[in-house]
Each structure stands twice: as structure tokens, then as C-alpha cells.
């Protein structure tokens, strides 16, 4: 047991390397990006803030261990008044009316959570949802845990969810193993679910992507560092910092190698902590190279 503890202090896991964060990330920069793109911060204790907070924690009830250790950091509301967002909101309203007219007066509009990395959330706020082969999967408001598990941790240890309004219309059941479907099976349907009676997943097809899903809020929160449901815990693959540096060195220039060696010396002399060392390796080598090297090492030892 002592050996495992010591190894953890001098090693990096594939999860550490795959993280999208780097030392320059911060909550402030991220929130500033939200504000710049038309989202304004609202008070948690306000009427709408309290509703969102209550809905969020209620959606985590499947796993109280996560719920008890989760803390809301900020809530931002879509207050965008730009011409682009006005067009998106107008398109959403027009499509909702069209679906309602087709489906007996009910467009079946719901709130849903969408979890992703900070970078993807920022991109979505700026440009809308990007094309996916099998559409966008979002979680019903009362089943937010799946989206939480899909969210990525930024450099400040914060995760982000979008709370969106989605036009579901008439739904059809699509199982997870139906990997070839990327549009409604017929004109009789508008969206898909995993279960008609008790859905835990809504699927918004690419054909309807940016006019029947409208981001309304961004919820930023801190959660347990290694989020996973009990049955999906996976073993970690460890690589020592010394081994990692020796593998990275051929891909780095002289100044980068010198900087990396300096940081490693500082780490061995306990001048910086393990998390700081990981962040500095990322900053010097870059996420793409670091991820590729750790994947290569993992595949080799396996």
C-alpha cells in the first residue's frame, strides 16, 4: 500500500494527461468569456437561481455521494441581445410553432442538461452546437447525472453544464446500440429518446440541431475529482514523471527540455506540488503531445 501511495505522488495518469485544462485556465477567464458572449451572472438565491439549483441537485439524486460533494460556483443566464442570438431565438419560436401545428398543438418543449468540456461550452455559446454524426444527446432536467459525467474539468477544477430548452415534438425510441441512425426514421418523428415512459436521454438530430435547442443558462460547479458511477470505475495506468520526461524529450526543443528538467527538479525538491507539476508539464509540452505520448505508453505496456 505504501508503494502505491508513493507511486501516485511521483506519477501521472492517462486521466491527468487527457485533461483539457492548463495552467493558464481560470474561472475568471471562463466566466468573462460567458459574459462577453451575452450571458450575465445571476444570484443563486434569486427566484430563478434557486429553481435551477434545486433542479440540479434533484437531478443528482441517483448518486448522493456526488450530490453531497458538489458545490455550485456560478449561474449565468442567456441575456444576449445580438442580432445572431435574436435570429436563433426567433428560429426556435418559429420551429416550435411549426411542430405544434403538426403535432396537435403541442411542441413538447422541455428543459435539458448538456455536459461538455469548457472549450466546447465556450464554442457552443459563441457559434451554436457543432455537427455530430448521431446528433446531440442531452439529459432530461431530472436526470442530470449523465450530463455531469460528460462534463470536463477546467484548469480551476470547475465543470460546466448548459441548461437548454429543447423542442422534442413526437419522439421515437432509439437504443444506444442503434449506432447507424442519424436522423428521424420517418416524417412522423422529430426527436428520439432511450425510453418513452421514463427517458434518461433525449437525442436532437443534426437536421434540427440549431433551431430546436436553445441554451438558456450555464451552470458552473465543483464536483468530486474523479466522477464516475460505481459500476464504471476503471483502473488507472501510471507513468512516472521521469519516464514521461524521457519519452517527451525527443519531441521538444532545447528550451522546452531545459524548462521541463527545471520543473522536475523543483518537484523532486518539493518546491512545487504534484498537481502543479502536472499543470507545468501540460503548459510546456502541450495537451496534444502529452495525450499522444501517454496513450502510446499505455498501449505499449498493455
Of 178, 195, 228, which residue constitutes the final position of a domain?
228
> 103 and 204: one domain?
yes
pLDDT, residue 20, reads 43
- Check whether residue 66 and residue 163 sit in a common domain: yes
Task: Quote the domain boundaries for residue 66.
Answer: 31-228
Q: What is the mean pLDDT of residues 144-168?
A: 89
Regarding whether 265 and 179 lie in a shared domain, the answer is no
Residue 262 reports pLDDT greater than 70: yes
In this prediction, residue 8 carries a pLDDT of: 42
Give the per-residue pLDDT at 168: 95
Asked whether residue 36 is domain-assigned, the answer is yes
Instruction: Clarify whether residues 164 and 75 are in a common domain.
Output: yes
> Considering the domain boundaries, does residue 246 fall inside one?
yes
Q: Which of 204, 228, 252 is the last residue of a domain?
A: 228
**C-alpha cell read off for 174:** 432509439
Note the pLDDT of residue 1. 38
User: What is the band of 255 on the pLDDT scale with cuts at 50, 70, 90?
Assistant: confident
19 occurs within a structural domain: no
Domain endpoint, select from 228, 254, 269: 228
Asked whether residue 129 falls in the same domain as residue 265, the answer is: no
Looking at the chain, the whole-number percentage of residues with pLDDT higher than 90 is 30
Best CA proximity match to 127, nearest among 80, 166, 95: 80
Q: Residue 264 pLDDT > 50, yes or no?
A: yes
**Whole-model pTM above 0.75?**
no
Tell me whether residue 22 is in a domain.
Answer: no
Q: Does any domain span residue 16? A: no
Q: Is residue 15 part of a domain?
A: no
Whether residues 247 and 284 share a domain: the answer is: yes
Considering only residues 233 and 225, tell me which one the structure prediction assigns the higher pLDDT.
225
Question: What is residue 152's predicted lDDT score, i.e. its pLDDT?
Answer: 82
Per-residue pLDDT of 36-93, as tens digits, reads 889 999 998 899 999 999 999 998 877 777 888 899 999 999 999 888 888 889 999 9
Over residues 14-28, mean pLDDT: 48
Domain co-membership, 224 together with 272: no
pLDDT tens-digit map of 181-200: 778 888 999 999 988 888 88
* 178 plus 246 within the same structural domain: no
Give yes or no: residues 73 and 186 share one domain: yes
Mean pLDDT computed over 207-233: 75
Long-range Cβ contacts of 38-43 (<8 Å, 24+ apart): 38/78, 38/79, 38/80, 38/81, 38/82, 38/85, 38/125, 39/76, 39/77, 39/78, 39/79, 39/80, 39/125, 39/218, 40/76, 40/77, 40/79, 41/74, 41/75, 41/76, 41/77, 42/75, 42/76, 42/77
Name the residue among 174, 292, 295, 182 with its Cα closest to residue 237: 295
Looking at the structure of the chain, the number of domains it has is 2
pLDDT-derived band at 289 (thresholds 50, 70, 90) equals confident
For residue 158, is it within any domain?
Answer: yes
Neighbouring-strand partners of residue 163: 113, 217
Q: What is the mean pLDDT of residues 227-233?
A: 44
Between 17 and 220, the higher pLDDT residue: 220
* Residue 28 confidence (pLDDT): 57
Which residues touch 143 (CB under 8 Å, ≥6 apart)?
59, 62, 199, 200, 201
Q: What percent of the chain has pLDDT over 70?
A: 82
Task: Let me know whether 69 and 112 are in one domain.
Answer: yes
Q: Does the pLDDT of residue 119 top 90, yes or no? A: no
Q: Based on the domain organization, do 222 and 246 belong to the same domain?
A: no
pLDDT category at 125 given cuts 50, 70, 90 is: confident
pLDDT score at 62: 74
> How high does pLDDT run on average in the chain?
80
User: With 60 as the cut, is the pLDDT of residue 234 above it?
Assistant: no
Same domain, 101 and 214: yes
Residue 119 lies in a domain: yes
**CATH assignment at residue 78:** 3.90.228.10
Extract the C-alpha cell encoding 70. 458538489
Amino acid at each position: 500500500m505504501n508503494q502505491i501511495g508513493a507511486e501516485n505522488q511521483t506519477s501521472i495518469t492517462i486521466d491527468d494527461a487527457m485533461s483539457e485544462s492548463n495552467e493558464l485556465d481560470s474561472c475568471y477567464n471562463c466566466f468573462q468569456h460567458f459574459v462577453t458572449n451575452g450571458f450575465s451572472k445571476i444570484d443563486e438565491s434569486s427566484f430563478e437561481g434557486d429553481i435551477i439549483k434545486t433542479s440540479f441537485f434533484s437531478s443528482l439524486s441517483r448518486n448522493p455521494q456526488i450530490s453531497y460533494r458538489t458545490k455550485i460556483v456560478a449561474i449565468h443566464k442567456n441575456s444576449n441581445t445580438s442580432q445572431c442570438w435574436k435570429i436563433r431565438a426567433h428560429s426556435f419560436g418559429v420551429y416550435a410553432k411549426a411542430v405544434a401545428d403538426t403535432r396537435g398543438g403541442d411542441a413538447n418543449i422541455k428543459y435539458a442538461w448538456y455536459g461538455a468540456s469548457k472549450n466546447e461550452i465556450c464554442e457552443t455559446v459563441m457559434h451554436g452546437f457543432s455537427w455530430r454524426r448521431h446528433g446531440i444527446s442531452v439529459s432530461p432536467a431530472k436526470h442530470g447525472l449523465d450530463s455531469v459525467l460528460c462534463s470536463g474539468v477546467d484548469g480551476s477544477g470547475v465543470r460546466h453544464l448548459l441548461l437548454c430548452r429543447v423542442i422534442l415534438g413526437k419522439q421515437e425510441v432509439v437504443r444506444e446500440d442503434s449506432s447507424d441512425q442519424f436522423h428521424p426514421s420517418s416524417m412522423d418523428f422529430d426527436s428520439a429518446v432511450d425510453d418513452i415512459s421514463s427517458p434518461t436521454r433525449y437525442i436532437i438530430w443534426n437536421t434540427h440541431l440549431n433551431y430546436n435547442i436553445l441554451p438558456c443558462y450555464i451552470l458552473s460547479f465543483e464536483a468530486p475529482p474523479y466522477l464516475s458511477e460505481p459500476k464504471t470505475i476503471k483502473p488507472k495506468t501510471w507513468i512516472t514523471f521521469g519516464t514521461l520526461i524521457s519519452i517527451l524529450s525527443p519531441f521538444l526543443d532545447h528550451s522546452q527540455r531545459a524548462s521541463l528538467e527545471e520543473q522536475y527538479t523543483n518537484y523532486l525538491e518539493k518546491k512545487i506540488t504534484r498537481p502543479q507539476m502536472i499543470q507545468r508539464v501540460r503548459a510546456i509540452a502541450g495537451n496534444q503531445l502529452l495525450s499522444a505520448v501517454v496513450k502510446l505508453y499505455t498501449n505499449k505496456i498493455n
